[in-house]
Chains A and B, each alone.
Chain A
Amino acid sequence: MCSVQKLTSTSPQSEAIVVYTGWERHALVGSDVRLSCSFFSWRWTSEDVTFSWSYRPDGAKDSISIFHYTGGAPYVDNKGPFRDRLEFVGNPPRRDGSILIRNLDFSDNGTFTCDAKNPPDIVGRPSSVRLLVFEKIPIQAGVITGAIIGVVLGLLILVVAIYYLMRFLVARRVFDLSVSKHGKKGKGKEAQQRQASVLVDPAKQKAAASEKKKQESRREKK
């Protein structure tokens, strides 16, 4: 009978370090972007906490290390693709290992991986954030479509609402009667005609007031 021992049984899951970065960052060419990295650990933040950032360009297989913080001092890229553009803006005692990249270019598209270690809590997975550099911020598919449809339908509803409001106001002004809740008491033929048309015509009405009056005069001829 064999017993299988899990390799991870000695260090329970709750003691692993968890690294957080964003999922994706969008930025414009020439602008600066701040890539944030933080971690969760059950232990106090030690003095030997380390942060490492590495960069893998889109389409490449290998990643290059661009930042390392250890022994209380940050070491930025001084030879690689980000030399003179990289700055450390984090606060390691507060578990923040963020970096700032200036003056972005299209060649900076890629995946940035942050690996944080909080000795003795060193077992954990690094986390990656993708950087997308655009010439101008693109409009998402469907935003304009939805906006146009929404505006037109909104205008339609607005016109209908205004139309009914006008009819209601005209009815109240012309006949200063004690209008009951149902508004069915009218004095004079005009009132009956107007109210009949309100009751009879169930369809939504969207037309100029003149067209409506033409229709009412035709109904009177009936």
Chain B
Amino acid sequence: MSIAEQPCYTLINTSQDLEPPTEMQLREDLEKGNDKAKAEALRKLIVMMLNGEKFPSLLMIIIRYVMPSQNHTIKKLLLIFWEIVPKHTGDGKLLQEMILVCDAYRKDLQHPNEFIRGSTLRFLCKLKEPELLEPLMPSIRACIEYRHAYVRRNAVLAIFTIYKNFDFLIPDAPELIGKFLDVEQDMSCRRNAFMMLIHVDQERALNYLSNVIDQVNSFGDILQLVIVELIYKVCHSNPSERARFIRCIYNLLNSSSQAVRYEAAGTLITLSSAPTAVRAASACYIDLIIKESDNNVKLIVLDRLIALKDIAAHERILQELVMDILRVLASPDIEVRKKTLQLSYDLVTSKTINEMVLVLKKEVSKTHNEQDSEDVEKYKQLLVRTLHQCTMKFPDVANTIIPVLIEFLADKNELAALDVLVFIRDVMQKLSNLKDLIVQRLLDICGQIKSVKVLRATLWLLGEYCSSIEDIQNVMTFIRQSLGDLPIVDDEIRRSAGETKDEQDISMSAPVQRLVTADGTYATQSAFMSTNAMDKKTLNGPANDRNRQPSLRTFLLDGDFFIGAALSTSLCKLVIRYMNLENDSIKQNRFCAEAMFIIASILHLGRTSLSSKPMNEDDYDRMLMCVRLLNERLPITFQIFGHDCRTALAEMLTIKAQEQKEIEKKLSKEKAATVEPDDPIRFTQLLSSNEFDEKEDILDLTLKQAIGTIGKKDENIFSSSILSKVTQLTGFSDPVYAEAYVNVNQYDIVLDVLIVNQTSDTLQNLTLELATLGDLKLVEKPPSITMAPHDFTNIKANIKVTSTENGIIFGNIVYDITGSQSDRNCVVLNDIHIDIMDYIVTGICTDNEFRQMWIEFEWENKIVVNTTIRDLHLYLTYLLKSTNMRCLTPEKALSGDCGFMAANLYAKSIFGEDVLANVSIEKSAIHADAPVTGHIRIRAKSQGMALSMGDKINMTQKTGFKGVSLTQK
């Protein structure tokens, strides 16, 4: 067995700057040094051995000179030394010397020092050699009756592991421990003994438990925990016993230890699916979440509740408890709040929605008072989203929610406000009865909006949804007010020239101007606000309202002409609606002219140097188009602006809703147990004893998963056949032929190298020398071997992988030929390339996360598309398949054929690294046969990842097109 396959209990990493001592030095110290020197040498030796070196010659030195020492430190170090030292010779036989060691341990087991006895017993738990354990058995048995609890409890553990591994050594162990348990008083000893019985003799454990079941509540928490474990296990293997223990578990729900309560709640649910039991368990969980201050606990217990919700029968019970769950919102951690909101949203029903909305509204008003921090902002956003979702689910509550939410628009916090706007848009579209109310509210609030993005969206909403003359006129008034005197340019020039009659005007507008021109960022905006506030204080009168810098104009002077473009579109829409409602053509024209005048003023401003940034061409075009539209008044453009826009929006929203529904449906489908036509039907009456057979014990299952004994299932046995991963390392005519099967596990690569001696000589000292390039590390060197003529053998080598990068393994085979005088012979091996695709798995992330990461990641690799594929979709699918990436852009957005395509791709490595890609490809419209062109940009946090992913794509482009063009035919 190689080191990599043996169980490993200890890891110590050397610090690099330490000079490793030579074997001679170590030998000197171990043989002649005093206790301190010996301990130090032993320490160094252990560290070196843990890092892969071998010192078989020092074994005897240690037995002769170090073992007899009575020094406690040395004794402890020796225990670790014997734990890691190889105990077998190369051919698998036990080393002779170990018998001597064994005798020393027999003495230590009778040592008067209880701690030495105890730690020796603990070491024996890790010993896997029955030959060594056998002579120790009587001493171990004696230790179980020793005075000190420390010795007893370790003795129980030793007996447990020995019995588990080699039950012939101590066949009566369960009986022995059973008796021990009856008389033992110490809590730790009892726990260990009980734990052993659970694993080896459940019957006995059950009997014991039945005897003491009344006292369980008085036991210590560690004992209670294993009792819960026993009940879980027993009920799993033998469900008919369940009835006996429900009462006991229920009692433990009220244990003084929170850990026991948690465990008991989990077990109670598996014991019984009766509503009372589930309710008790869930109540216990909720109580734990509220009472424990630790966020870790809160999150994990919430996960348990979420898992509980996914079981259809239990969901109903949790629905009753939704108000209790909402109490968790008192916790300040954003993650906890997020999970809680999501869970309670999933659980809310028409019965509880009103109460829930009340609670959420209260939370919203609380956030207004809280200090602004990043988390509070995010929390507000979460609350808005949840309320939004609630309204979509239960439209009745909308009119109570809207007033609360509209308040957010005046907030400085853009995150929440933007979400509110999205919410309002949804409501407007779906619940047209609330339109008037919302428009009214928006008109009330729009004067106080401070953020340009919010104002822009609000203007759009007003433009789109105002439907009465009065409203339209109100909007117009608001726009006029917030733009100030028209035309803007003249007004501004007048102001800066100081031609105003009012002196105060000069004093006020001059600093404003300067501030704006100094820098064009938002800082100036706040400067405006403060000037305004100052003005309010000093001037203090309604007469000066007009002179204050109106908000829209501020934005325009800052150079944000996008809002001008949005305003123009909204004005057009308003004009169109006004014309439909108002029959008087004079009024129609006046209104239209006013709108055109506003747009024209903005256009003019954009062409002067008054604003801090010039207007860009897009905004200019857009505004010009609006002017033209109002000027020409063609019915077709009116139709587009007045009607088709809204239809397009409606369509987009329905598609979104559909997608949402599909996802939900998928989830619920996964939830619903699929019964195949040929599944056996189970009758509970007939199946009482083995009902749980198919469910595996979750405790054992997770343990197996964690230590990695459960292998990955091969999804497609043919495509990932072993043969396809065999790499030829040398030529067929080389004296030594070698080929390797590269087996990639999660964190390591196993090379299984087949070596064939093709000569008729015996090859001595044949060594496979390997070296690596990239983030790979050879765990241990393969040993040298001797090969008979025409013999073949297999050598295994383990290589550790720590990150996703293209790795190369290279090396050679060296050997001597018997009897020949020549130097060593050498055969150079072909390189083995490790494919990073083995480490890339498809991941999922939201659009927002993608954008966030796109901004943050430092490394970008731009690859030019170079392919013979002629179809955009085909290219994308090919790319996705060959890189394991997932396309984040929804199917709908990619459908259709317009000659170009843009999509976002995402994947993750098993080491947790993200890799993003953006594909923008096009196809020449003129030549139908032209291949796809464009480029792919890859972004990742680390350079290696971006580079190797790029290499991979280049490779697939080079090698892959043949296969694809074939399929195309």
Mutual binders A and B: no
